[in-house]
């Protein structure tokens, strides 16, 4: 599945862009406390559902992420519930620990103003993970996972947690294919979800000469080449390969 990352999508213009994305067929949307746009994402989805065009909540897969400032076990559920409220939903489909690194919390309101970059090394990722497990048990989220975790950090959750992470969302592109992490996750039944598939900032791989040559040969766009490469490379599963090749 290919979804839309919503980092930097804000305001009325951003909401309209999200609604157009839904019209084009997007159904998976990725947001986070740190993006400051959960309300905008939720409003776009809600408005499209209310248009009576046949869409329902179950048609969408919504992802949000725990703030690094809310890794204390007593704050995790609060942060998750506030994300759900801002989205205007009853639950999120996937809730991720945005980073394994805890940050100092200004207070517990989980707003952009509270986000700091000061590391709090007194909180272990496992503490936050136990909080995510509780969110799952409470039904606030349908699935739980992590983002930006390395093998050592994943092993801790696998050996000491009750629930294994369903997903590890990591940077992944044609220039950084994460083959070692992909193999580790596949071995442990963890799905790799790649972000920045076109490269960071100025989308460098859209202008990569090799990518452009392949695109020209196949009659496709550079973006299509990058996305197809990742889908075929990351998810080489015999059961899903036929569907992947349609991308």
Instruction: Tell me how far apart the alpha carbons of residues 37 and 83 are, in angstroms, rounded to a whole number.
Output: 10
Instruction: Tell me how far apart the alpha carbons of residues 170 and 182 are, in angstroms, rounded to a whole number.
Output: 10
Gyration radius of the chain's alpha carbons: 18
Q: Tell me the catalytic residues.
A: 35
Average pLDDT over residues 186-212: 92
Instruction: Tell me how far apart the alpha carbons of residues 185 and 168 are, in angstroms, rounded to a whole number.
Output: 8
Instruction: Tell me how far apart the alpha carbons of residues 31 and 61 are, in angstroms, rounded to a whole number.
Output: 11
Strands ordered across the beta sheet of 4-5: 4-5, 28-30, 61-66, 94-97, 144-147, 167-171, 191-195
Binding residues for substrate: 98
CATH superfamily of 4-165: NADP-dependent oxidoreductase domain (3.20.20.100)
pLDDT tier, 202 (very low <50, low <70, confident <90, very high otherwise): confident
The 10s digit of each residue's pLDDT in 26-40 is: 999 999 999 999 999
pLDDT of residue 116: 60
243, pLDDT greater than 50? no
Average pLDDT over residues 124-147: 98
pLDDT of residue 190: 97
pLDDT of residue 104: 87
Contacts of 243 (CB under 8 A, 6+ apart): none
pLDDT of residue 238: 46
* Bridge partners (DSSP) listed for residue 29: 4, 62
The 10s digit of each residue's pLDDT in 75-98 is: 999 999 999 999 999 999 999 999
Binding residues: 98
191, pLDDT greater than 60? yes
Average pLDDT along the chain: 90
Per-residue HEC secondary structure of 174-238 comes to CCECCHHHHHHHHHCCCEEEEECCCCCCCCHHHHCHHHHHHHHHHCCCHHHHHHHHHHHHHCCCC
Average pLDDT over residues 202-218: 93
Helix (H, G, I), strand (E, B) or coil at 99: coil
pLDDT of residue 89: 96
Closest CA to 35 of 106, 111, 119: 111
pLDDT of residue 1: 77
């Amino acid at each position: 599945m290919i979804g839309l990352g919503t980092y930097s999508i804000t305001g009325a213009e951003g909401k309209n862009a999200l609604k157009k994305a839904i019209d084009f067929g997007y159904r998976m949307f990725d947001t986070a406390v740190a993006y400051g746009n959960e309300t905008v994402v939720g409003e776009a989805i809600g408005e499209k559902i209310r248009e009576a065009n046949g869409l329902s909540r179950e048609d969408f897969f919504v992802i949000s992420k725990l703030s690094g400032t809310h890794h204390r076990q007593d704050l995790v559920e609060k942060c998750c519930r506030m994300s759900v409220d801002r989205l205007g939903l009853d639950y999120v489909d996937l809730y991720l620990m945005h980073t394994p690194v805890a940050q100092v919390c200004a207070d517990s309101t989980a707003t952009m103003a509270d986000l700091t970059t000061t590391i709090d090394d007194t909180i272990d990722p496992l503490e936050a993970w136990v909080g995510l497990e509780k969110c799952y048990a409470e039904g606030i989220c349908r699935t739980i996972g992590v983002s930006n975790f390395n093998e050592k950090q994943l092993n801790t959750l696998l050996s000491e947690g009750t629930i294994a992470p369903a997903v590890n969302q990591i940077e992944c592109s044609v220039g950084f294919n994460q083959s070692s992490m992909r193999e580790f996750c596949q071995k442990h039944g963890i799905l790799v979800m790649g972000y920045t598939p076109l490269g960071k900032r100025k989308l460098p791989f859209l202008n990569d000469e090799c990518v452009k040559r392949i695109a020209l040969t196949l009659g496709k766009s550079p973006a299509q080449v990058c996305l197809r490469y990742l889908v075929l490379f990351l998810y080489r599963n015999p059961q899903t390969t036929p569907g992947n090749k349609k991308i």
